[in-house]
Chain A
Amino acid sequence: MAKLTSLFVILLSFFCISEAVFEDQVGKFDWRQQYVGKTLFAHFESNTQSSKKMFVATDKNIFASFNSRTGDLLWRHVDKTGPEGTIDILLLHGQDGRLLRSWDTNIGGLNWEVVLDTGSFQAACFVAIQDTVKLVAVLKKAAISLHYLSNGHQKWVENLPDSDAVQYQAVYSGGEEEVYVLGVVPNSHLTIIAYMDFFSFKSCEYLPVLVSSQPHPARSPLSEFFLQLGPDHHVLLQLNADGYTIAPLRDFQPAFLVSFATTGKKTVAAVMTPKNETVSRHRACAINLFSVDSGRRLLDTTVLFPLEPNGGKPHMLYVHAFLKKDDSVGYRVLVQTQDHALTFIQQPGRVVWTREEALADVVTMEMVDLPLTGTQAELEGEFGKKADGLFPMVLKRLSSQVTLLQAWLAHLWKLFYEARKPRSQVKNEVTIETLSRDEFNLQKMMVMVTASGKLFGIDSKSGSILWKHYLENVQPNAAFKLIVQRTTAHFPHPPQCTLLIKDKDTGLATLHVFNPIFGRKSHIALPALPRPILQSLLLPVIDQDYAKVLLLVDDQYKVTAFPSTKNVLQQLQEMASSIFFYLIRSEHGNLSGFRLRKDLSTERIWEVVLPTEVQKIVAVKGKRPNEHVHSQGRVMGDRSVLYKYLNPNLLAVVTESTDAHPERAFVGVFLVDGVTGRIIHEAVQRKARGPVHFVHSENWVVYEYWNTKSRRNEFSVLELFEGTELYNSTVFSSLDRPHLPQVLQQTYIFPSPITTMEATLTEKGITSRHLLVGLPSGAILSLPKMFLDPRRPEVVTEHSREENLIPYAPEMPIRTEWFINYNQTVARVKGIYTAPSGLESTCLVVAYGLDIYQTRVYPSKQFDVLKDDYDYVLISSVLFALFFATMISKRLAQVKLLNRAWR
């Protein structure tokens, strides 16, 4: 027995050979990009020209520091998600709503943290005593408190007068231990209360205004402030010394954004104004500095901010002003646009860097094959066109071969040219023009849709953004679905992607049709969608331009086809009786199936109702349409075949009980045929609770849940088999499969919570499958499906050994070499996308969350690729040596034979 187990250990070690990367492979196939999200607060470190650090706090509860020269992330703190971690304000030292924290700006370490009293946060500022910042004032709805900056201890706290009537909005330090609190009573007056260290206050009242003003911690606040009168109308006002009258200094119209900046003793106001609005091609904004004291424009301070044609409008302006050597004011600006892009600009309008922070919130993505190179496309085009006589065909052939020759010569020349240069200088810049498919289709275009409504095209090899397109008028809570209607395979027709954007409140949908390679919007007539859309389905029906047909079902169960040419409608009419779709209304627990009629109306044909009093539907998943299954069955130990139940229409429906009591809570897994509505299997996991993560593929469903009794995460796998005989081996039809499949299930303990799960996908489905599990730590685990096999035997037998089944162990191992992203953790991983490559062994993986990580995985190792260190020289020299040895020995043998014959 001991021998047997040791044999098994050896066997196991053969199967689970580590897939970890070697040190020299780091960064070769993979890349990671780190993001922080939409900036809410930004500050620059100091007011010298040479300072490099800037700090931002974002809506994703992240506090980070950038290198202002390059835009690289120096350090980043990812706080809790949700309101617990919300950053209310960022001073030079960051602060959270309930927690007041101080950070070291060099390394990002936490200095101290104090818990504040409850109360809604209003504002905070620094208080300086004799030009050194020693205190922090925090203004709450009804109280103000002062804390020491060195250790966070509270100095004093005071209730504000009339806190019911007065909205206290701002707090400023007066320079000498004075704290001014600015309150507004709507439609009447403005209150300023000054707190001295010894709790006396005076108040003054003047005009009701909306104030946008900038204090300076070490000195008394500015007497000048901006008043915004309209979306692009600002007025610079000055409070006179007597404290009762206001004088307008300058009227800015049009002006998008205004901001104050202080350097040394000078304070300037930066104003962004639109420029060249008439020339729509190169819209730009101009930023000018104005002296705050007089309202005069400072000379030579104009910075041009180029507006991208498909970008958003400027949203926020942060100015980093500094004194130059000649005592004049120089500045750099950080502009945040509506599409969450951060641009850092230097005088006179040079963009130093841009960060696309919209990518911190990717909603959905697709990978699209790159197009062929021009010459390849030329050849393809030759075959694609209709024949027009013998002679023109010959001419075309010759011309295309000439172009091929030309391209080859150019390639040779380039090789020769580059060979002379040192290797470090050779740069393979990826641009849209040079994009072409590589030999094994490993490089693809990643089309990413972000929550802000900005679309990105990213080269999967380098991670560089090749195109971006900002969709305006996208609601913040809209749902997106990205559909590839035509791939790159149909030259000369360009590839076509369709983004379905659905407003969650109204249910109304809009379509955005674009070319996924170049990001350009295509000018196809879009169907009018006046009614809310319930369901969309991509049919395998192809129109004359090779675009797949998208069906949109509205709330009256009417179907709209896109594209809706005559050809398509005719095809749809012919196939109508075999087009089925399903709708799920989770709030009613209702699953229903529909069939298309010839007149594109629909009829309801089945209905399954899960009572909402007992359980609620949390998720439904079908199978991926581009998934291939290579083998129909599994060969068992006794040489018989166990056939898989490969129903492409199968839906996995996961429910959770409404009863949350740990003893009575359960998770339900229903396998429902999407065409007939037949419940294939219904399993109930008792004493279980969500969140449930699951993967549905081939003939299996893997789901993960929380066991409320044992308080641990568990994995369960369901596999469906038809048995040892196939009912109909040629085709699968949901309508003709009367026998229910055999269902096998096994459950394992998983020693970690998970955040997302996906299965690998390869070209032909020969390679064994792995599950990619995103862990909260940011690691991505590549778990072999072999460990999740319900046929793992409890008692090892001859047959199970023959089948290479791993003996059952209740706990699933986590091996560190299974982490595909070694130390490149993906913060808050939200989704994992897998795509097949041209190589059967290789699967492309993109994990997205706050960060984006792209890599390749080889679930069955690289069985179709020669290794990097493959010794070509040795093999060829051995081959040649053998060849010559046979030649020589043959010659020698001949001579010997001849000699013998003579003898």
Chain B
Amino acid sequence: MASVSRSFLLLSIIPTILILCADFACCNTGRKTGDGLDTDFSGFSVPLEHSFEVDDVSRFRMRGALQLRGGRETSVSLSQSQLSEEDRNNLKEVAAVDGLYKIRVPRVSLTDRQTERQMDGYLTAFVRACSLVESHLSDVITLHTDVSGYLIGVSIVTIPGACRGTEVEDEVDLEAFNTTLTIIPPTNAPQPETALFIERMDIEHEKRGKPQEQKSFFAKYWYLILGGAIFLMASSSAQPSAGGAEEQQS
């Protein structure tokens, strides 16, 4: 297990250049997705599909329906059925050969759903089937949207995420998904905080300014001035006699 993850670490150093290709045929454009249960005015549903095959060839089947609610408060909920006996066995088999469990959702827009809500193509993500089995089907699915409300990406992780090779004996554990679903809009990057800084500077300036105003120059250093004056007076009174003495000597 550790060796596998270490190899991931190694391979992660994949320096890649971005090469753009002009002609691209998307392989996922074939099927038009279900128009959904468009009953609610503010919400609509899109299918969530999954695929897990021993030979790693994607054959997506329905997993559940995502209830999306656009507008000011975007929210999402998922209604999904239990895994069938056949699916459970299949998933275990895929986990045994370290296959992948993939999910996909169609590309949709959450905001302007009147005008061509569905675009071509899907957003796909994957997780290792073994980690899904070992976490007893507890997964976290995250949907990402962009500024204008288009779905741009989906991700799936399981908690815990590691494959330790523990056997899942209990069939009950693999019946129902325990899914946490979130939808994440983009965060706004901060602007330079000039206002706060100026405010702070002003406060500091005031603090520094006040004590200087309170005490005048003389009030602050009167003892020094007085001492200096006394010293000057003393030295001036002592000087003539000394000078006189010197003059007399010379």
Output the residue of B21, B58, B123 with the most chain A CB within 10 A: B21
**Could you tell me which A residues sit within 8 Å of B by CB distance?**
1-2, 5, 479, 481, 502, 507, 532-540, 555, 575, 577-588, 590, 595, 597, 603-611, 614-615, 619-620, 622, 624-625, 647-649, 657, 666, 668-669, 672, 674-679, 681-686, 707, 714, 716, 728, 730-738, 743, 745-749, 794-795, 808-811
- Interface segment among B70-78, B191-199, B218-226: the answer is B191-199
> Can you list 22 residue pairs at the A/B interface with Cβ under 8 Å?
A1-B204, A532-B21, A533-B19, A534-B19, A539-B14, A581-B14, A581-B16, A590-B24, A595-B100, A604-B124, A607-B121, A611-B107, A622-B14, A678-B142, A678-B155, A683-B188, A684-B187, A736-B162, A738-B158, A749-B192, A809-B197, A810-B194
Interface residue? B234 (CB, 8 A): no
Query: Which of B4, B14, B15 has most A Cβ within 10 Å?
Result: B14
Complex formed: what's the CA distance from A674 to B12 in Å? 8
A747 and B189 contact, CB distance less than 8 A? yes
A607 contact set on B, CB distance < 8 A: 28, 104, 121-124
User: Which residue, of B11, B131, B155, B190, has the highest number of chain A Cβ atoms within 10 A?
Assistant: B11
The docked-state distance in angstroms from the alpha carbon of A669 to that of B128 is 28
| B-side contacts of A748, CB under 8 Å | 192
B13 adjacent to A614 (CB under 8 Å): no
18 new A-B contacts, CB < 8 A, other than A683-B186, A736-B163, are A540-B11, A580-B14, A581-B14, A588-B26, A607-B122, A615-B147, A622-B14, A648-B13, A649-B12, A675-B12, A683-B189, A731-B5, A731-B9, A735-B5, A735-B128, A745-B189, A747-B190, A748-B192
Chain B residues, Cβ within 8 Å of A479 = 19
Let me know if B15 and A611 touch, CB within 8 A.
Answer: no
User: Count of chain B residues with Cβ under 8 Å from any Cβ of A?
Assistant: 76
With a cutoff of 8 Å between Cβ atoms, the chain A residues found around residue B200 in the complex are 794-795
Task: Indicate whether B89 reaches chain A with its CB closer than 8 angstroms.
Answer: no
Q: How far, in Å, is B237 (CB) from chain A's closest CB? A: 42
Contacts of A578 in B (CB 8 A): 4, 7-8, 11
Q: Which residues of the other chain, B, contact A811 by a CB distance below 8 angstroms?
A: 192
Q: Which residues of A contact B157 (CB under 8 A)?
A: 678, 737-738
Residues on A with beta carbons closer than 8 Å to the beta carbon of B86 = none
Q: How far is the CA of A733 from the CA of B2 in the complex (A)?
A: 10
A735 B14 Cβ-Cβ under 8 A? no
Find chain B residues with CB under 8 A from A795 CB: 200
- Residue B153 lies at the interface, judged by CB distance under 8 Å to chain A: yes
> Complex formed: what's the CA distance from A536 to B14 in Å?
9
Residue B27 CB within 8 A of the other chain: yes
Tell me which of B56, B128, B186 contacts A682 (CB under 8 A).
B186
Determine the chain B residues whose CB is within 8 A of the CB of A678 once the complex forms.
125, 142, 153, 155, 157
A-B pairs with lowest CB-CB distance, top 3:
A678-B155, A648-B12, A608-B153
Which residues in A have their C-beta under 8 angstroms from that of B131? 735-736
Give CA–CA (A604, B57) in the complex, Å: 10
Which residue on B lies nearest to A743, using beta carbons?
Answer: B187
B172 located at the interface, meaning its Cβ lies under 8 Å from any Cβ of chain A in the complex: no
Residues of the A chain whose Cβ atoms lie less than 8 Å from the Cβ of B122: 607
A749 CA / B11 CA spacing, docked (Å): 38
Residue from B23, B128, B208 in contact with A1 in the complex, judged by beta carbons closer than 8 Å: B208
- When the two chains form their complex, are residues B20 and A608 in contact, meaning their CB atoms are under 8 A apart? no
Minimal Cβ-Cβ distance residue in B for A539 = B11
Interface residue from B4, B8, B21, B58 paired with A507 (Cβ < 8 Å): B21
Cβ A684 vs Cβ B12 within 8 A? no
B residues 79-118 touching A (CB-CB < 8 Å): 98, 100, 102, 104, 107
Known: A5-B204, A734-B8, A748-B192. A682 touches B119 (CB 8 A): no
Kindly provide the distance from the CB of A677 to the nearest chain B CB, expressed in whole angstroms: 6
Known: A586-B20, A605-B102, A738-B160. Is A794-B193 also a contact (CB below 8 A)?
yes
Task: Specify which chain A residues have a CB less than 8 angstroms from the CB of B184 in the assembled complex.
Answer: 679, 682
Is B148 engaged at the interface, CB distance under 8 Å to the other chain? Answer: yes
Given A682-B144, A731-B9, A736-B5, A609 and B19 contact (CB-CB distance below 8 Å): no
**Contacts A625-B13, A676-B126, A679-B152; is A735 near B121 (CB within 8 Å)?**
no
Given A605-B102, A734-B8, A738-B160, residue A674 in contact with residue B21 (CB < 8 A): no
Chain B residues near A538: list those with CB within 8 A.
15
- Taking the closest CB of chain A, its distance from the CB of B219, in whole angstroms, is 19
Interface pair A606/B147, CB less than 8 Å apart: no
On whether the beta carbons of A597 and B191 are closer than 8 Å, the reply is no
A736 to B160, CA, bound (A): 8
Instruction: Known A536-B16, A738-B159; judge A605-B126 contact (CB<8 A).
Output: yes
